[in-house]
A and B are shown apart, each in its own frame.
Chain A
Amino acid sequence: MRVKLLLWTLCSALLIGLLAGCSSDNSGSAQTVDGKQKVTLTYASWGSTNEKKVQEKIARQFTEKYPWIEVKYMHIPGDYVTKLTTMFAANQAPDIFPIYKAQGLQWAEQGKLYNLNEFLKEDKELTPDTLIPNAILYWDKDKVAGIKVTEEAFGLYYNADMFKEAGLPLPPTQAEQAWTWDQFLDTAKKLTIDNNGNNAASPAFDPSNVKQYGVRFDTWMWHLMVPSNGTSVISEKKDKLNLEDPQMIEAVQKMADLITVHHVAPSPTQSKNIPAPAVALQSRKVAMDLDGQWVQLDLGQSGMNYGVGVLPKLKESKTTLFGEPEVISATTKHPKEAWMFYKFLLDAKSGLDMHASGLWMPVSKEWYTDPALIQQWATVKPGHPEGYTDAIMKQTLNNGVNSYEYYLKNSEKISAIINPAFDQVWLGKKTVQQAFSEISAKANAEFKGTYPEE
Chain B
Amino acid sequence: MQSMTETAQRRQTISKSSLSSIRRRENWLGWLFAAPAILGFVIFVFGPMIASLWLSMTDYKVASTPHFIGLENYRNLFNGTDAFFYKSLGVTLYYVILSVPLQIIVAFFLAILLNQKVKGLTFFRTAFYLPTIVPLIASSMVWLWLFDPDMGLLNVIMRALHLPESQWIYSETTVVPTLVLMSLWTVGGTMVIFLAGLKDIPDHYYEAIEIDGGNALHKLLYITIPLTSPTIFFNTIMGFIGGFQVFVQPYVMTQGGPNNGSLFYIFYLFREAFTFSNMGYACAIAWVLFIVIMLFTFLLFRTSQKWVYYEGEGR
Is residue A369 contacting chain B, with contact meaning CB distance below 8 A? Answer: no
Is residue A330 contacting chain B, with contact meaning CB distance below 8 A? Answer: yes
Is residue A442 contacting chain B, with contact meaning CB distance below 8 A? Answer: yes
A228 to B275, CA, bound (A): 30
Please determine whether B150 and A420 come into contact, CB atoms closer than 8 angstroms: no
Is residue A48 contacting chain B, with contact meaning CB distance below 8 A? Answer: no
Please determine whether B276 and A413 come into contact, CB atoms closer than 8 angstroms: yes
User: B-side binding surface: helix, strand, loop or mixed?
Assistant: loop
Provide the residues of chain A in CB contact with B170, threshold 8 Å.
268-269
Q: Mark B171-188, 1 if CB is under 8 A from A, else 0.
A: 010000000000000000
Please determine whether B64 and A423 come into contact, CB atoms closer than 8 angstroms: no
Q: Mark A383-424, 1 if CB is under 8 A from B, else 0.
A: 000000000000000000000000000001100110111011
Is residue A29 contacting chain B, with contact meaning CB distance below 8 A? Answer: no
Contact residue among B167, B172, B274 (Cβ-Cβ distance under 8 Å from A269) = B167
Contact residue among A81, A110, A413, A442 (Cβ-Cβ distance under 8 Å from B63) = A110
- Could you show 20 A-B contacts with beta carbons less than 8 Å apart? A81-B275, A85-B277, A89-B63, A89-B279, A103-B275, A107-B277, A110-B63, A110-B277, A112-B62, A112-B63, A272-B150, A273-B151, A412-B275, A413-B276, A419-B257, A423-B258, A424-B259, A442-B83, A445-B81, A445-B83
A269 to B166, CA, bound (A): 12
Q: Mark A228-266, 1 if CB is under 8 A from B, else 0.
A: 000000000000000000000000000000000000000
What are the nearest 3 A-B pairs in CB distance?
A: A112-B63, A423-B258, A423-B259
A412 to B279, CA, bound (A): 15
Which of the four size classes fits the interface of chain A?
A: 20 to 34
Please determine whether B63 and A88 come into contact, CB atoms closer than 8 angstroms: yes
Please determine whether B258 and A110 come into contact, CB atoms closer than 8 angstroms: no
- Among B61, B62, B256, B273, the most chain A Cβ lie within 10 Å of the Cβ of B62
Please determine whether A416 and B271 come into contact, CB atoms closer than 8 angstroms: yes
- Among A103, A413, A421, the most chain B Cβ lie within 10 Å of the Cβ of A413
- Kindly list 20 other residue pairs between chains A and B, CB separation below 8 angstroms, not including A111-B64, A269-B167, A423-B172: A81-B274, A85-B62, A85-B273, A85-B277, A106-B277, A110-B63, A111-B63, A112-B63, A272-B148, A272-B149, A273-B150, A273-B151, A416-B84, A416-B276, A420-B256, A420-B257, A420-B260, A445-B81, A445-B83, A446-B83
A413 to B276, CA, bound (A): 7
A88 to B279, CA, bound (A): 12
Please determine whether A412 and B259 come into contact, CB atoms closer than 8 angstroms: no
Q: Residue of B at shortest CB range from A446?
A: B83
Is residue A82 contacting chain B, with contact meaning CB distance below 8 A? Answer: yes
Q: Mark B273-288, 1 if CB is under 8 A from A, else 0.
A: 1111101000000000
Please determine whether B274 and A82 come into contact, CB atoms closer than 8 angstroms: yes
Is residue A270 contacting chain B, with contact meaning CB distance below 8 A? Answer: yes
Q: What is the minimal beta-carbon distance from B259 to any residue of chain A, in angstroms?
A: 4
Provide the residues of chain B in CB contact with A110, threshold 8 Å.
61-64, 277
Provide the residues of chain A in CB contact with B148, threshold 8 Å.
272-273
Provide the residues of chain B in CB contact with A273, threshold 8 Å.
148, 150-151
Provide the residues of chain B in CB contact with A81, threshold 8 Å.
274-275
A103 to B61, CA, bound (A): 12
Q: What is the minimal beta-carbon distance from B79 to any residue of chain A, in angstroms?
A: 12
Q: Mark A423-434, 1 if CB is under 8 A from B, else 0.
A: 110000000000
The A-contacting residues of B in range 270-304, CB under 8 angstroms, are 271, 273-277, 279
Please determine whether B63 and A330 come into contact, CB atoms closer than 8 angstroms: yes
Q: Residue of A at shortest CB range from B144?
A: A272
- Among B150, B259, B260, B271, the most chain A Cβ lie within 10 Å of the Cβ of B259
Q: What is the minimal beta-carbon distance from A224 to any residue of chain B, in angstroms?
A: 21
Provide the residues of chain A in CB contact with B172, threshold 8 Å.
423
Q: Mark B60-98, 1 if CB is under 8 A from A, else 0.
A: 011110000000000000000101100000000000000
Q: Mark B124-158, 1 if CB is under 8 A from A, else 0.
A: 00000000000000000000000011110000000
Given contacts A106-B277, A269-B170, A413-B276, contact A420 B61 (CB under 8 A): no
A268 to B271, CA, bound (A): 22
Q: Mark B246-270, 1 if CB is under 8 A from A, else 0.
A: 0000000000111110000000000
The A-contacting residues of B in range 108-131, CB under 8 angstroms, are none
Q: What is the minimal beta-carbon distance from A359 to any residue of chain B, in angstroms?
A: 26
Provide the residues of chain A in CB contact with B84, threshold 8 Å.
416
A269 to B170, CA, bound (A): 7
Q: What is the minimal beta-carbon distance from B262 to any residue of chain A, in angstroms?
A: 11
Q: What is the minimal beta-carbon distance from A128 to any residue of chain B, in angstroms?
A: 27
